[in-house]
Chains A and B, each alone.
Chain A
Amino acid sequence: MMFEKPRPLIPLRPEDQEQPPPAVDYEVHHLTRYRYARPVTSNYGRAHVEPRATPHQRVLSHEVTVEPEPAVLTAHTDFYGNSSTFLLVSTPHEELAVHSRAHVSVSLPQYPLDALSVSWEKCTPEHWGPLVPAEAIDFTHDSPRIHTTPEVQAIAAEVFTPGRPVGECLAELTRLIHSSFTYASGATTVTSPLEEVLAERHGVCQDFAHVGLAVARSVGLAARYVSGYLRTAQASLESLGTRPDGEMIGSAASHAWLSVLVPGAGWVDIDPTNNTFVDQRFVTTSWGRDYTDVPPLKGIVVGPPGATSTLDVSVGVVPVPTDASGTGSGAPEPA
């Protein structure tokens, strides 16, 4: 059993490594269209689609465009340091299109062996030391979608055994969620309450991230929800909405995973949906306590009663040559 579902490899920084592997550049497109049966008068939206700078990610450019011409399109830095975009369309329209384009450069996260070798008990707030900001305590609390339940405690007891190295715990948590929950794919999927996900043992990437958060927080660790994208198939940029690349799940839309605070190593990102530590295939847009802090795009539409809408989302995350300025089709990318 254990061999059928091996734990993901812990990305450690080799002692003798002088140069980390080269960074990978991506062109990211995220296009959302709502079509309405009857013209609507106003549309208010809030988006978290702009990739953010992290220790492993540089943002070379970013732009959001909205059709029709918005009356207001602004962005501010939110509580968690994410870019939060507001849009207001005040002219009658039958279709709303929000197109986010970004050019990012992602390097491989690698963590020091000694930090990931300490027991998980040594990663709780009382052991943080002065280098961890006091505000990180926020990510140890319950949040709108995250709380401890008996099922959460049962998983935690299996993963966080006394004295176990934290790196091993995170690998095991990733593996366990991946193997004991079924991915419910669908064109349009919706997050579910934590209890439902735990009871029915299936969900989408957001739900898997929520389970991981609940388990990590139940033992006192700081864990945050991360929203972003996954590299898509190596297709041309013209055909947005390409199919997922092989075994990777969730790449036709936005993706989500979680990140756990390990003193000495920083935030360590794990993706239970794909049973892996987060690597160069992942583009990070924003983080928060759970999904409700950073939904990629949400809004309120005002229009005639019964103006129902159809939704069409397509995402493309395509590697581009590192020296290119964000144009061109996807060049072959070595694995």
Chain B
Amino acid sequence: MTIDPDAPLQRELRALGERGLRRAAAAARRMVATDTSSSTPGQGAIDPVPVVITAQEWEELSAGLVQRARLLDALHADLYGPRTVLAGGVAPVGALLEDPGYLRAAVSIPSRAPQRLFALSTTVTRTAEGTWSVLHDQVDVPGGAGLTLEIRRVLSRSAPALYRSTALRRLHPFYESMRSALTARSRTDGTAGRAVVLVDDQDTSTGFDHHRFANLLGRPAVSATDLTVRDGVLSLQGPHADPDAAAIDTVVRMVPSALVDPLDLGPTPLQGVTGLLEAARRGVVEVLNPVGAGVLESAALRALLPDLCRQLLHEDLRLRGVEESAAPLAELSLAPHRDTSRASADGAPGGSPSGPSDGSASGPLSDPTEDGHLVGRPVAVQLLVVATEDGFEVLPGGIARTTDEGPEATKDVWVLATTEDAATPGAVAPLDASTASAPAEQADVDRQAPPALPVPPQMLTRSVGSDLFWFGRYMERVDSASRLLRTIRDVANDLDPERGPEADAALGVLLRAVADVTGTGATMQEVDPRDREQVRRELGGAATDAHRPGSLAQSFRALERTARSLRDMVADEVWPVLTRMRGSLEELTDPVGVIEEQVLRDLVVGGLGLAGIVSDGMSRTTGRDLVQAGRRIERAMGLLALLRSCFDARRPRRVEGRVSEAAATILDAASAYRRTYDAPLQGELLLELALEDTTLPRSLAFQLDALREAVGRLPETTTESRARSLLTELSGRVAGWRARELLAVDEQSAGAGPTVLVAETTAAMGTLRELSEALEEEYFRVPESTSTWGFDDV
């Protein structure tokens, strides 16, 4: 254990005690889950007890890491250049040539800076003898930059006392020099360059870290489909693409090398950027880390680094690999939960258990100390090295992960400040609690990663545009499903005492409305409204069955997925709302499968929260217009489907009354109705209101107004916009609607319903669907297909 027993940190740890530490751990974990919008269960615990590295130790360790970076950099330059090491008798030639990471297509690509590598991430461990040794390197896609800051941020909030106790090196200055290094590197011919960060949106395990890295670099995160090589330059595709503004000269690559260029590296699931490798070879773009850097992760190479270091750098290797005999040092850690201590910890006020996996898999404790709750656990420390203008620099902090058999915990890594650091303004976290009411790193975060960076319009790429549009659509889908279910659940309950044919008929109409509006399940149509057990089961399924298309759970998942790929394009406040909604959804049904009313209400409120963020938290850009267009189309379609289901037949007055009442509740129209008509609720008047009242936020007229406004502001891509003409067509159709005429019934035919209403609403919904497709076509879809030729021809 490396924390000095007399150190202030030790005193604070004692003062916090088990209860305080567990509370801080739980809070930190909740914050991370919220920020990362991680829905993957089993994410490890966060341990507030840091791994402490003294200033002296750090000097040695970071010097070793810098040397290692220089060595790997020199190896990269050689392996993709003259390949002298392959002839020199030192390198493991056979193993290197057999390594799938050695991409032969990536040879002779120039570098703009003295270093070829931009960043690498090395995982080290401290041995019982007190020396550091290397476990492995991440060079192809170096991770950890974003997560390091996140761990620091949440722990400095959840355990502020610990962070005030000790002077430690701050992360902020490092990120600053990392950003200016990239700026310097992307500057060509004296003009500022354009850099983007290439990420894989659908990779949920690294998505947060990579997006935060992009944010720290101050560059947009893009996916491969957003980039093309045309006329010899790399450019960004999107609704706004001004060819000059969109030319990219630096790509920070956060997707594996082998997946970036289908022409030279073979087919890739991410589609890739055809011709990227050649663009890099011609020097019009620099890819960082360079394509093929993964070969430096080779285990065979690692074993021979001491010899290669002498051959290439004429130095002795400072940081050795882990020797099998060396026992890792046990670092002071919060003991994993034991079942006995669990109850008390979870009983902490405000500390509702954040997940079922929290500590439930705890193993036996090997080495409890006298404190009981603090034990020694071996850890691996991931550290980031970045090429700056002054050479390689090491981030003074990192991520520590436990490596023993127990449940994995993640820890912060503290590098203690020296007196010299203290003289440098901003390098050391302030000790004085009074000047740091918000802990220091939090201020860093606020400066480093401003919530929802305003995105310049030309940065709106196709994939982002499409995600924004669908974010709007899924948002409304979740909203309409939760409103419908909430109201129907009420109706089903209210009707219970006075069960009769009319009540059952009304419930039957509403159940069909659920099927119609959400599109979930044909089974809903066949439910016998008199069988309340079956009704409850069906409603439960429509709410919670994530595999059922159109269900509330499924729509919510889709909403989360699009939000995740948008990341910093949506306001930060979206994450806590989504996290709460996910929590609600998990508790939606009681053990017998009955929907909890309160929980549905929470979901409706959550939906309003998201709508509020879009309205008030997003700047008036094309991105917001796309969200709005998506919302309005979806809401209009839901409304039309609801009205069609409710009024598609003539029904006994009392049945119609109940149905209208439910519809008025779903549409939030009850009070507007009272204001507008001095009459009891009637179907025809409600229909009129729902179609024509421009002041009612859920009316059709309101949707069309908002839709025209949003679509009108979108940049014109063609002179003959199909979307615009469809919108005009729809407006014309709807303008001719009169509630009375829509509901008219041809008395001649027996049992007839209002055929005009059915035909008109169906046609309008069809036009809305076409409109949605036309918008996608015009703004998001890649209009062309890509095919390979000659790959197998002789």
Check if A141 sits within 8 Å of B793, measured CB to CB: no
B278: A residues at CB distance < 8 A: 72, 74, 86, 88
Q: Which residue of A lies closest to B278 (CB)?
A: A86
Q: Which residue of B lies closest to A256 (CB)?
A: B794
A117, CB-defined interface residue at 8 Å: no
B748, CB-defined interface residue at 8 Å: no
B653: A residues at CB distance < 8 A: none
Check if B785 sits within 8 Å of A88, measured CB to CB: no
B98, CB-defined interface residue at 8 Å: yes
B747: A residues at CB distance < 8 A: none
The interface centre, meaning the residue of A134, A137, A253, A304 with most chain B CB atoms within 10 A of its CB, is A134
**Cα-based distance from A41 to B786 in the complex (angstroms):** 10
Check if B282 sits within 8 Å of A299, measured CB to CB: no
Check if A135 sits within 8 Å of B86, measured CB to CB: yes
Check if A298 sits within 8 Å of B104, measured CB to CB: no
Check if A135 sits within 8 Å of B87, measured CB to CB: yes
Q: Which of B262-288 contact A (CB under 8 A)?
A: 262-264, 274-275, 278, 281-282
Segment of A4-12, A184-192, A323-331 engaged in the interface with chain B: A184-192
Q: Which residue of A lies closest to B284 (CB)?
A: A72
Segment of A60-68, A75-83, A171-179, A212-220 engaged in the interface with chain B: A75-83
**Cα-based distance from A80 to B83 in the complex (angstroms):** 12
Check if B274 sits within 8 Å of A76, measured CB to CB: no
For the complex formed, measure the closest distance between the CB of B246 and the CB atoms of chain A, giving whole angstroms.
15
A295: B residues at CB distance < 8 A: 790-793
Q: Which of A101-142 contact B (CB under 8 A)?
A: 133-135, 137-138, 141-142
**Cα-based distance from A77 to B263 in the complex (angstroms):** 17
B interface size (C-beta, 8 A): 37
Check if B794 sits within 8 Å of A298, measured CB to CB: no
Segment of B225-233, B294-302, B383-391, B541-549 engaged in the interface with chain A: B225-233
B498, CB-defined interface residue at 8 Å: no
Check if B232 sits within 8 Å of A72, measured CB to CB: yes
A321, CB-defined interface residue at 8 Å: no
Check if B87 sits within 8 Å of A133, measured CB to CB: yes
A254, CB-defined interface residue at 8 Å: yes
Check if A74 sits within 8 Å of B282, measured CB to CB: yes
A304: B residues at CB distance < 8 A: 783-785
A157, CB-defined interface residue at 8 Å: no
Given contacts A190-B792, A190-B794, contact A88 B229 (CB under 8 A): yes
Check if B104 sits within 8 Å of A79, measured CB to CB: yes
B784: A residues at CB distance < 8 A: 41, 302-305
Segment of B89-97, B178-186, B190-198 engaged in the interface with chain A: B89-97
Check if B108 sits within 8 Å of A253, measured CB to CB: no
Q: Which of B758-794 contact A (CB under 8 A)?
A: 783-794
Check if B794 sits within 8 Å of A253, measured CB to CB: yes
A71: B residues at CB distance < 8 A: 230-232
B275: A residues at CB distance < 8 A: 44, 86, 88
Given contacts A72-B282, A88-B232, contact A301 B786 (CB under 8 A): yes
Check if B108 sits within 8 Å of A300, measured CB to CB: no
B16, CB-defined interface residue at 8 Å: no
Check if A299 sits within 8 Å of B794, measured CB to CB: no
The interface centre, meaning the residue of A42, A78, A80 with most chain B CB atoms within 10 A of its CB, is A42
A206, CB-defined interface residue at 8 Å: yes
**Cα-based distance from A135 to B788 in the complex (angstroms):** 31
Q: Which residue of A lies closest to B782 (CB)?
A: A302
B107, CB-defined interface residue at 8 Å: yes
Check if B97 sits within 8 Å of A138, measured CB to CB: yes
Inter-chain CB contacts under 8 Å: number: 119
Q: Which residue of B lies closest to A96 (CB)?
A: B789
A149, CB-defined interface residue at 8 Å: no
Check if B230 sits within 8 Å of A90, measured CB to CB: yes
Check if B785 sits within 8 Å of A135, measured CB to CB: no
The interface centre, meaning the residue of B89, B98, B787, B788 with most chain A CB atoms within 10 A of its CB, is B787
Q: Which of A41-100 contact B (CB under 8 A)?
A: 41-42, 44-46, 71-72, 74, 76-80, 86, 88, 90
Mark interface residues in A171-210 (1 if CB within 8 Å of B CB, else 0). Answer: 0000000000000000011110000000000001110000
B262: A residues at CB distance < 8 A: 300
A76: B residues at CB distance < 8 A: 108, 281
A297, CB-defined interface residue at 8 Å: yes
A161, CB-defined interface residue at 8 Å: no
For the complex formed, measure the closest distance between the CB of B44 and the CB atoms of chain A, giving whole angstroms.
38
Check if A254 sits within 8 Å of B794, measured CB to CB: yes
Picked from A88, A141, A299, the residue with its CB within 8 Å of the CB of B98 is A141
Picked from B230, B783, B791, B792, the residue with its CB within 8 Å of the CB of A42 is B230
Picked from B228, B229, B785, the residue with its CB within 8 Å of the CB of A305 is B785
Check if B788 sits within 8 Å of A299, measured CB to CB: yes
Given contacts A44-B275, A71-B231, A299-B788, contact A190 B87 (CB under 8 A): no
Check if A190 sits within 8 Å of B785, measured CB to CB: no
**Cα-based distance from A110 to B93 in the complex (angstroms):** 31
Picked from A134, A205, A311, the residue with its CB within 8 Å of the CB of B89 is A134
Check if B89 sits within 8 Å of A44, measured CB to CB: no
A80: B residues at CB distance < 8 A: 104
**Cα-based distance from A84 to B698 in the complex (angstroms):** 62
**Cα-based distance from A55 to B282 in the complex (angstroms):** 31
A309, CB-defined interface residue at 8 Å: yes
Check if B107 sits within 8 Å of A78, measured CB to CB: yes
Check if B263 sits within 8 Å of A141, measured CB to CB: no
For the complex formed, measure the closest distance between the CB of B386 and the CB atoms of chain A, giving whole angstroms.
29
B788: A residues at CB distance < 8 A: 298-301
Q: Which residue of B lies closest to A42 (CB)?
A: B230
B89: A residues at CB distance < 8 A: 134
For the complex formed, measure the closest distance between the CB of B274 and the CB atoms of chain A, giving whole angstroms.
5
**Cα-based distance from A296 to B83 in the complex (angstroms):** 25
**Cα-based distance from A152 to B105 in the complex (angstroms):** 29
Q: Which of B317-335 contact A (CB under 8 A)?
A: none
**Cα-based distance from A300 to B104 in the complex (angstroms):** 20
**Cα-based distance from A41 to B87 in the complex (angstroms):** 45
B98: A residues at CB distance < 8 A: 141-142
B785: A residues at CB distance < 8 A: 302-307
For the complex formed, measure the closest distance between the CB of B594 and the CB atoms of chain A, giving whole angstroms.
49
Picked from A137, A253, A299, A306, the residue with its CB within 8 Å of the CB of B94 is A137
Check if A299 sits within 8 Å of B793, measured CB to CB: no
Check if A134 sits within 8 Å of B230, measured CB to CB: no
Check if B264 sits within 8 Å of A141, measured CB to CB: no
**Cα-based distance from A72 to B232 in the complex (angstroms):** 6
**Cα-based distance from A256 to B282 in the complex (angstroms):** 30
Picked from B228, B232, B789, B794, the residue with its CB within 8 Å of the CB of A301 is B789
Check if A300 sits within 8 Å of B793, measured CB to CB: no
Given contacts A46-B263, A71-B231, A88-B232, contact A134 B87 (CB under 8 A): yes
Picked from A74, A253, A298, A306, the residue with its CB within 8 Å of the CB of B791 is A298
For the complex formed, measure the closest distance between the CB of A133 and the CB atoms of chain B, giving whole angstroms.
6
Check if B231 sits within 8 Å of A298, measured CB to CB: no
Check if A141 sits within 8 Å of B108, measured CB to CB: no
**Cα-based distance from A74 to B793 in the complex (angstroms):** 22
Check if A297 sits within 8 Å of B794, measured CB to CB: no
A135: B residues at CB distance < 8 A: 83, 86-87, 93, 97
Mark interface residues in B73-113 (1 if CB within 8 Å of A CB, else 0). Answer: 00000000001001101000110011000001101100000
Check if A293 sits within 8 Å of B104, measured CB to CB: yes
Check if B87 sits within 8 Å of A300, measured CB to CB: no
Check if A299 sits within 8 Å of B790, measured CB to CB: yes
**Cα-based distance from A174 to B286 in the complex (angstroms):** 46
Q: Which residue of B lies closest to A309 (CB)?
A: B789
Query: What are 25 A-B pairs with beta-carbon distances under 8 A?
Result: A32-B790, A44-B274, A44-B275, A45-B790, A46-B263, A46-B264, A72-B232, A74-B282, A76-B281, A78-B107, A88-B275, A88-B278, A135-B87, A137-B97, A189-B793, A190-B794, A298-B789, A298-B793, A300-B789, A301-B788, A302-B274, A302-B784, A303-B785, A306-B785, A311-B793
Given A205-B794, A297-B793, A304-B784, 9 additional A-B pairs, CB 8 A: A71-B230, A72-B282, A295-B790, A295-B791, A295-B792, A298-B793, A300-B786, A300-B788, A301-B786
Q: What residues of chain B have their CB less than 8 Å away from a CB belonging to chain A?
A: 83, 86-87, 89, 93-94, 97-98, 104-105, 107-108, 228-232, 262-264, 274-275, 278, 281-282, 783-794
